[in-house]
Amino acid sequence: MKAVDAIAQILKQEGVQVVFGYPVNPIIEACAKVDIRPVIVRQERTGMHMADAMSRTSSGERIGVFCSQHGPGTENAFGSVAQAYADSVPVLHLPAGYSRAMINVRPNFNAFLNYQHVTKSCEQVSLGVNVPDALRRAFTQVRNGRPGPVLVEIPRDVFQEEVPEPLNYKPGLRARVAPDPRDVETAARVLVEAQRPVIYAGQGVHYAKAWGALRQLAELLGAPVTTSLQGKSAFPENHPLSLGSGGRSYPRAVHEFLANADLIFGIGASFTATNYAVPMPKGKRYVQSTIDAADLSKDVAIDYAVQGDAGMVLEALLGEVKARLKKPRDAAPVAKQIAAIKKEWLGQWMPKLTHTGTPINPYRVIWDLLHTVDVANTIITHDAGSPRDQISPFWEPISPLSYIGWGKTTQLGYGLGLAMGAKLGHPDKTCINVWGDAAIGMTGMDFETAVRERIPIMSILFNNFSMAIELKVMKVATEKYRSTDISGNYADMAKAFGGYGERVSKPEEIIPAIRRGLQKTKEGTPVLLEFLTTQETTISDFAPPAG
């Protein structure tokens, strides 16, 4: 068979049901022939974003696959692969390449050479007969170890070369990595000895599907739990021991418990220091568990390390901690303290969360949305900038993989593709992206993709007619040239594309509009609700003292 048909057959064997692509790659047509659904986007970034969500919301069981056209198409996709690399997302990129005679001739874009710094594994197929081995290696890499994007570039002339039949292809395996028992014993001992331990859960808990073990350990130790932005929803935030999650903004309880902890246990966490993560306090004792040794003591000097799959680490820790404690600790005092801090903190924010004036306060939209949708059956994501910082402290996910948090790098426009990819993977759930008028400028045309491909998401847009968070640093540019002024009638745009659009300007209209939007998604129509909001120039964090 032709190499391109072999690729489609292999993707079928690997369980791929959807491929994302734009504009032309021979793999797209070959996949359609074997009943793998092609989803054609309006720009390459969005296609990879959709593949990204397919992988994230299945803990890597369904690998998202994106196919780009050789040359400019693959160039355009670079940013989205870099985003997946920063956030450690297991996706497969199958770009076409220039023919072998031209692939290294300037200015032709060579994906194999140019993507190596933003992929976990990068390979170029030089002969058609090598396709099965290359894809086996790719799927093995994408399923094992630290998650990350994997790329296999296929030159255009290789697609038409013959591959011997039968394929005799063996799908890539997934292997778990167990921790050193001695490290587990040490970690269990210091966790039990600690008087004020805090558990910090990262994205590794999601990929290991270790939510149950995490909850058991927290309840056994009576220890409070916070999560990274990527780990958000790994622990139910309506649980008495939940502190909430931490990004650039975070609930007060997160700061206070981390500041007072005598031991911080990071599970499935890199402790990466970014502007979009809770700053880890200095002078604390740390236990770090991660699958990748490159993350150990990278940005935080740790005292104890447990390397391995987050699920296997938690399972082993449970056994050791149970042997030492005999019975669960009384969690009531910690839960009471969390509840008191949360009550006071929310009380301070209620004027914004229940604001009755106009323009609408974006926090009011978030609060009403939280109390209108079925949270347990909703997958929600933010976008970069203000929407991320406004929603993450207040949204309380109660089921795993129901919040797609991201932020180690923060490309505008990411959330729309994430919501669409999540909906394709979970058609029974309400899938929502929350973004602003800056983000929609990056990928807004792909709302048409949602309409054309029959992907009924709900898109929540905050329109404050400006780059609000930049107002403080662009005062002169704004006053003299109105440089921060951006806007449009985005509800009308959604209608023009064939979706449901509604512009909301009064607080009392928020919940009715959300309910109408939910009904439209149930009927199969993508929805964009545009809320005319205030220019919030501060974020909702409990800011640590200066210095």
pLDDT at 540 (0 to 100): 53
Spatial distance between the Cα atoms of 476 and 479, rounded to a whole number of angstroms: 5
pLDDT band of 539, cuts 50, 70, 90: low
Task: Tell me the CATH number for domain 354-532.
Answer: 3.40.50.970
Poorest-pLDDT segment among 440-444, 454-458, 464-468, 539-543: 539-543
Q: Could you tell me how far CA 16 lies from the centroid of its own chain?
A: 20
Spatial distance between the Cα atoms of 329 and 195, rounded to a whole number of angstroms: 11
The secondary structure of 293-345 as a DSSP string is GGGTTSSS--SEEEES-HHHHHHHHHHHHHHHHSS----HHHHHHHHHHHHHH
pLDDT at 547 (0 to 100): 26
Percent of all residues in the chain with a pLDDT value above 70, rounded to a whole number = 98
CA angle centred on 54, ends 423 and 178, rounded to 5°: 135
pLDDT band of 348, cuts 50, 70, 90: very high
Question: Under 8 Å CB-to-CB from 135, ≥6 apart: which residues?
Answer: 7, 10, 11, 14, 152, 169
The matching CATH number, chosen from 3.40.50.970, 3.40.50.1000, 3.10.105.10, 2.40.30.10, for 3-160 is 3.40.50.970
Mean per-residue pLDDT for 478-503?
A: 92
What digits encode the pLDDT tens for the residues 53-62? 999 999 999 9
Q: Where are the beta strands (DSSP E) in 333-453?
A: 378-381, 403-404, 430-436
Structural contact between residues 420 and 458, judged by C-beta atoms closer than 8 angstroms: no
pLDDT at 536 (0 to 100): 80
pLDDT at 544 (0 to 100): 37
Q: Two tokens at 66?
A: 């994106």
Dihedral sign from CA coordinates of 382, 385, 390, 396: positive
For the domain made up of 181-335, the CATH class stated in words is alpha beta
281 upstream amide cis, omega within 30 of 0: no
Structural contact between residues 435 and 462, judged by C-beta atoms closer than 8 angstroms: yes
What digits encode the pLDDT tens for the residues 61-89? 999 999 999 999 999 999 999 999 999 99
DSSP state of 543: P
Structural contact between residues 200 and 269, judged by C-beta atoms closer than 8 angstroms: yes
CA dihedral 351, 535, 521, 377 (to 10 degrees): -50
Structural contact between residues 228 and 163, judged by C-beta atoms closer than 8 angstroms: no
Spatial distance between the Cα atoms of 113 and 323, rounded to a whole number of angstroms: 52
SS3 at position 269: coil
pLDDT at 538 (0 to 100): 65
Q: Two tokens at 216?
A: 């058991």
What digits encode the pLDDT tens for the residues 261-311? 999 999 999 999 988 889 999 999 999 999 999 999 999 999 999 999 999
Per-domain residue ranges for the chain?
Answer: 3-160, 181-335, 354-532
What digits encode the pLDDT tens for the residues 176-209? 999 999 999 999 999 999 999 999 999 999 999 9
Poorest-pLDDT segment among 152-161, 231-240, 242-251, 510-519: 242-251
The two domains 181-335 and 354-532 share their CATH topology (first three levels equal): yes
Is residue 448 predicted with pLDDT exceeding 60? Answer: yes
What pTM does this model have? Answer: 0.95
CA dihedral 506, 512, 515, 521 (to 10 degrees): -60
Instruction: Give the number of residues written for the chain.
Output: 547
